[in-house]
Amino acid sequence: MNWAAVGRLRGVRLRDLPYSLYERRLTSWLAGKPRPAHVGVMVDGNRRWARDMGYIDPNDGHRVGARRILDLLGWCDEAGIAHVTLYLLSTDNLSRPAAELEPLLRIIENLVGELAAPGNPWQLRTVGALDLLPAQTAAALKAAAEQTVGRTGGAQVNIAVGYGGRREIADAVRSLLYEHARAGGTIEELAEVLDVDHIAEHLYTKGQPDPDLIIRTSGEQRLSGFLLWQSAYSEFYFCDANWPDFRRVDFLRALRSYASRQRRYGS
- Cβ count within 10 A of residue 172: 19
- Report, as residue numbers or ranges, the catalytic residues: 44, 93
SS3 86: strand
What distances in angstroms separate CA 237 from CA 39, 213, 217, one per listed residue?
A: 11, 7, 9
Residue type, 223: L
- Whether residue 106 contacts residue 89, with contact meaning beta carbons closer than 8 Å, is answered with no
- Whether residue 130 contacts residue 89, with contact meaning beta carbons closer than 8 Å, is answered with no
- As a whole number of angstroms, the distance between CA 110 and CA 116 comes to 10
What distances in angstroms separate CA 147 from CA 111, 152, 207, 218, one per listed residue?
A: 14, 13, 20, 32
- Cβ count within 10 A of residue 206: 12
Q: DSSP class of residue 33?
A: S
- As a whole number of angstroms, the distance between CA 107 and CA 140 comes to 11
